[in-house]
Each structure stands twice: as structure tokens, then as C-alpha cells.
A and B are shown apart, each in its own frame.
Chain A
């Protein structure tokens, strides 16, 4: 079955989710995975959707016109076959917290340490907190460590960054307890 990634973003207000999902429901779509959140003053929705009757985005893209009229931006991406299936990531999940006075490059430099080593980031949240005089940057990042990579190693890479960026970084294991 053809799957699509649907991204919708617009000024946050009550009722966005119900308007979007009403259109999906009326159009016979299934929502497989989704993640929706407030970023700044914007509500953003990312959904993986499918409809057994529909194989191209041209067949349904116009059904979202009412959303555009309400100042929501809609983008549809057509997934390649299998693009809806999450690859099976092996390893140990770890959580990296980075926080400190705001400055350029915090996200990039941390991500680069991981990306250069082909470590997969599975989740990332950042937020600017504090006040105008003292903006504080907070980043929470989850990454899947391959089997041969220990938490202590990640800690040692981050130790150098901590000095360089003058931020606080902590790394911890995020083992899900299988019960």
C-alpha cells in the first residue's frame, strides 16, 4: 500500500488536530505513526498516512485546501515502498542532555560528534528558555549506540565539547526495562 508523509504547520490554536483528522477520516485514511507538538507559537503535525484506494498524492491533495484557507501549511511527501517501516535499530539507547548559555552551534557540534561516528539520533528536542538577558539553551537528544560503543566513550567525547562550548552535558543509559 502506498504511504505518504503529511506535514502540517500553522499558528497554534484549539481545533487543528480535529480539523486535520476529520479530513483524513472522511477521506478513508489510516494514521500509522504521528508526532505533533507546539514549536514556538506553531503547532506542527507530522503523520504517516495511507489509504488502500489511493496511490498518488494528486488524488487527495486538494482535500486539504480548507486547511490552507485557515493558514495552515500542508506538505505531502510520497514515500518509497517500505518507507513506512522503521528499520530495526540494534544497540543501547542513550540520552544526552545539553544545556547552557545560548550560543551558535550547540546542536551542530553535538550532532557532529555522533554523525561522524554513524550514531543514529532517534529523537531530538531543543528549547530556548530563560529570559532575554540570560537565554538558556536546552537540548535533549536520544541516540542509539551500536553494540561496540559504551556510554563512557560518549561521555569522553562530550567532555571535550563541554569545555569548548562552555555548556553542561550529561549522558546516561536509557535502557527500556522489558517487563
Chain B
């Protein structure tokens, strides 16, 4: 059990592109455990990515099953992902996101409605899963961290003014 400190922007490590995990050694197992412990400790969080703990390797965990919006939808429970990659995307949805690394700010972000993601799980097994709704949003948000993207890079509208696009 190791709850780590979550880095806060402008820590530059949050803007780095993370490196693939080539050898699944003890340190990689420890990283996954730290991610899970920190996510659980953070209470409201439904996911966290390695760079948020200052570890620049491609790993992230997601669990929407404990969150209010996630509970209502089908989900995979706790996902521990090493070298995850989104291999298919479909549709789009707008959701208001916040991030533990960018406190006190939320923004409307457009994400794919459903995704197929491939990763190595904690047992080094290759998994290919189909995720939708909130789970898909959470995975996309966490995987963005691995490429140095914050949700601030994806905000698609200021507050509610979606309907302003068409000007008279």
C-alpha cells in the first residue's frame, strides 16, 4: 500500500510523453499498485495515470464502478492498464471533466462515445475491451495523460454556449 502525492500542474512532468513499459518487472507491478492505492485514497477519483505520480511510464488505472455516473452503466470495474492503446473510436459525447492535477477548474470536453482499448493487464495478459459512456471518457482522459495532454487541451466549449456556434 503506497499512496503517492498527485502532481499538480504546472509540474512539467504532466506535459511529457511517457515511455512504453518494455520489461514487466517488480517496479511496474509496484507502479500499478501505487496507482490503485492513490486513486482509491483520492476518494472521488475514477482514474489516475502514471505521470500524475511523477512516473513517466505508460500505465494507468480506471475504475468507474464506485462513481455515481459510472454505477448506472455497464463497466469493467477496476482496469489496470500497461501500454494501453485506443484502437477504435466511435461517436462523440460532451462531458464536463475535472482533473486532480488541475484543481478547481472544469471544462466541457468532447470524447468518443465508445472505444476499443488494448493493453497489458496486471497479470501481463493482453486485453482488448470495448468501453462506453463514462468508462470510455475516463479511459480517454487517463490515456491522454500518457501523451502529455491535459483536459484543458481538449475543452471544446466555454460553459454552456454550445448553441452560440450558429450566429445570426
Chain B proximity of A10: nearest CB distance (Å): 19
Interface pair A140/B163, CB less than 8 Å apart? yes
Alpha-carbon separation in the docked complex, A163 to B64 (Å): 38
Query: When each residue 21-57 of chain B gets 1 if its CB lies under 8 Å from chain A and 0 otherwise, what string results?
Result: 0000000000000000000000011111000000000
Chain A proximity of B135: nearest CB distance (Å): 11
Query: When each residue 147-179 of chain A gets 1 if its CB lies under 8 Å from chain B and 0 otherwise, what string results?
Result: 000000000000000000000000001111111
Interface pair B46/A178, CB less than 8 Å apart? yes
Interface pair B163/A179, CB less than 8 Å apart? no
Chain A proximity of B117: nearest CB distance (Å): 15
Interface pair B160/A95, CB less than 8 Å apart? yes
Chain-B contact segment, one of A43-51, A106-114, A121-129: A121-129
Asked if B82 is at the interface (CB within 8 A of a chain A CB), the reply is no
Interface pair A179/B96, CB less than 8 Å apart? no
Q: Which residues of the partner chain B approach A174 to less than 8 Å between Cβ atoms?
A: 96
- Contact of A178 with B159 at beta-carbon distance under 8 Å, contacts A127-B164, A129-B168 already known: no
Asked if A138 is at the interface (CB within 8 A of a chain B CB), the reply is yes
Interface pair B163/A127, CB less than 8 Å apart? yes
Asked if B122 is at the interface (CB within 8 A of a chain A CB), the reply is no
Alpha-carbon separation in the docked complex, A177 to B168 (Å): 33
Asked if B115 is at the interface (CB within 8 A of a chain A CB), the reply is no
Q: Quick one: which of A125, A138, A177 contacts B96, CB cutoff 8 A? A: A177
Alpha-carbon separation in the docked complex, A176 to B94 (Å): 11
Chain A proximity of B94: nearest CB distance (Å): 11
- Contact of A178 with B134 at beta-carbon distance under 8 Å, contacts A125-B160, A125-B161 already known: no
Asked if B58 is at the interface (CB within 8 A of a chain A CB), the reply is no
Q: Which residues of the partner chain A approach B155 to less than 8 Å between Cβ atoms?
A: none
Asked if B69 is at the interface (CB within 8 A of a chain A CB), the reply is yes
Query: When each residue 143-168 of chain B gets 1 if its CB lies under 8 Å from chain A and 0 otherwise, what string results?
Result: 00000000100000001110110001
Q: Quick one: which of B45, B161, B164, B168 contacts A179, CB cutoff 8 A? A: B45
Interface pair A177/B164, CB less than 8 Å apart? no
Q: Which residues of the partner chain A approach B137 to less than 8 Å between Cβ atoms?
A: 177, 179
Q: Which of A93, A125, A177 has the most CB of B within 10 A?
A: A177
Q: Quick one: which of B98, B100, B163 contacts A176, CB cutoff 8 A? A: B98
Q: Which residue of A lies closest to B145 (CB)?
A: A179
Q: Quick one: which of B98, B142, B160, B168 contacts A178, CB cutoff 8 A? A: B98
Q: Quick one: which of A140, A176, A177 contacts B160, CB cutoff 8 A? A: A140
Q: Which residues of the partner chain B approach A129 to less than 8 Å between Cβ atoms?
A: 163, 168
Could you tell me which B residues sit within 8 Å of A by CB distance?
Answer: 44-48, 67-69, 95-100, 106, 134, 137-138, 141-142, 151, 159-161, 163-164, 168
Can you list 28 A-B contacts with CB-CB less than 8 angstroms, sorted by A residue number? A123-B159, A125-B159, A125-B160, A125-B164, A127-B164, A142-B159, A173-B69, A174-B96, A175-B68, A175-B69, A175-B96, A176-B96, A176-B97, A176-B98, A177-B69, A177-B95, A177-B96, A177-B97, A177-B134, A177-B138, A178-B44, A178-B46, A179-B97, A179-B98, A179-B99, A179-B100, A179-B141, A179-B142
